[in-house]
Amino acid sequence: MKRLFFLDFVLLLGLILLILVLELPSVVESGSHDYQDALTKSILFFEGQRSGRLPQDQRLNWRADSGLGDGSANGVDLTGGYYDAGDNVKFGFPMAFTTTMLAWSLIEFGDLMPPSELRNALVATRWATDYLLKTISQPNRIFVQVGDPIKDHNCWERPEDMDTVRTVYTVDAPNPASDVAGETAAALSASSMAFRSSDPGYAETLLRTAIRVFEYADNYRGAYSDNADVKDGACPFYCDFDGYQASHLPITCTFLHTFESLCFDELLWGAAWLRRASQNDSYLSYIQNNGKTLGADDNINEFGWDNKHAGLNVLVSKEYLEGSIYSLESYKVSADSFMCTLIPESSSSHIEYTPGGLIYKPGGSNMQHVTSIAFLLLVYANYLSRTSQTVNCGSIRVGAASLHQQAKKQVDYILGDNPMGMSYMVGYGDKYPQRIHHRGSSIPSIKDHPQFIACKEGAVYVNSSNPNPNTLVGAVVGGPGEDDVYEDDRADFRKSEPTTYINAPLVGVLAYFVANPNLNP
């Protein structure tokens, strides 16, 4: 009897262990990834987001000209630029951030790209900078957006068929626009560095214009969405929300006097890029003298289109690490602190990871956090490596190799090493999202279906369960939920919509792994 009882116990224990194992998430590993193919596709994606008159060498040929009258009602040419996501609006704030990240990718990792992809990345960047130059072509005026988002979002139509009102949203001095103007200054400064060797004349134009637009940002402080004429167009889509830290509700800069520093990260960000691009000491003094009042010491561990703090600290740390400018040490301390939050073994780690290992931040479009953070991990790792330094995370010291590995885990997850066993980049691998939340991709191409498809006539396509007819190659979607589950549902835009600011930092990340494919995570 005792022997039978023991056998029953063993069987029961085995059954319990089997159940536990089955319930644990498993990561499907696809082996080595073709990072060069992924890089090619991540850049190609931007051609699918183009607005304006398309060039003859357009490779995603299911797209055609669109938005050719943008700005005409205001007597200005605002054609070109990018649609930021799956809609047909051109939002200046996230477009400028996208541009900064494309340029930063080129600055840090361009020399690792195959020559053809370096050229394509420069073309993608210039498509944005040419447009940004148009938005600040008039003195003391910034064109911050083209397209009424409410009317646009009430339609499901191809950009080629757009018949919604193309409202132009404008900010004029002395009305504030520190966020958009500061980010535009950063974008043009960074891009001037990216174009310096291939087109020095264009680079000089970009830098000269960046200096002028930064003056607007600094002289007229506040959020562009505080302007009554702009707020209804920008909000709730791309308001400056980075003052919401305490309540998770949007608080505008003009209202939030006691936490004013939370609203001006773009001023330090723009100044930091102007310093790096121009080597002008006046911008170094600006960063040194305004750090406390503009929030450099707030140590906010965020980085994205709305919040530049972590990226700012990493960017400025380069000058401290390589130039020993001790007045910038606080930026390096904050950058170290941010890195420690990303290391699971660190006592200060507090970032969330899914069971499958993906960085996860509640909200929407999670992959924007993943790609931006992976980019910062690689950039900071390179800065540390060049100066033979490490990060003190309390009980452990973290070196460049560890940061490289953390970034690799994230990019490999995106490309297929995840519990779903799928790539979250459209067109990469054998299994990827088929029903992305994207108007142009989900409606038959104008070349296959030349008849006009009106605003509401697109409903049949958005509500269809069929795969999208046009493959938006290289698009990275918002990604799975905190449980690693992805349903491939076009209606779930938080998970299934791609954005330019997801892809832009990924360009640099993938370029690094093209040259360094065999790091062991």
Per residue in 352-385, pLDDT tens? 999 999 999 988 899 999 999 999 999 999 999 9
Q: How confident is the model at residue 349 (pLDDT cuts 50, 70, 90)?
A: confident
Q: Are 60 and 468 in contact (CB under 8 A)?
A: no
Q: For residues 114 and 112, what is the distance between their CA atoms, to the nearest angstrom? A: 7
| pLDDT of 4 above 50 | no
The reported pLDDT for the residue numbered 236 is: 67
DSSP category for residue 352: E
Q: Output DSSP code: residue 141.
A: E
Q: Is the confidence at residue 6, as pLDDT, over 90?
A: no
- 388-410 mean pLDDT: 94
Terminal alpha carbon distance of the chain: 50
> pTM score, two decimals?
0.91
Query: Cβ neighbours of residue 217 under 8 Å, at least 6 residues apart?
Result: 177, 178, 179, 181, 182, 184, 185, 266, 267, 270
| C-alpha Rg value of the chain to the nearest Å | 23
Q: Which of 124, 230, 225, 224 minimizes the C-alpha distance to 167? A: 230
What gap in Å lies between CA 307 and CA 310, rounded to an integer?
A: 8
pLDDT band at 348 (very low <50, low <70, confident <90, very high): confident
At 256, the pLDDT band (50, 70, 90 cuts) reads very low
Report the catalytic residues: 437, 488, 497
Q: What is the pLDDT of residue 429?
A: 96
In the chain, the domains with their CATH numbers are 33-516 (1.50.10.10)
pLDDT for position 1: 42
* pLDDT band, very low/low/confident/very high, at 18 (cuts 50, 70, 90): very low
Contact 169, 143 (CB under 8 A): yes
Classify 339 as helix, strand or coil: helix
Task: Say whether pLDDT at 254 is over 50.
Answer: no
Mean residue pLDDT of the chain comes to: 89
Instruction: Look at residue 198 and give its three-state secondary structure.
Output: coil
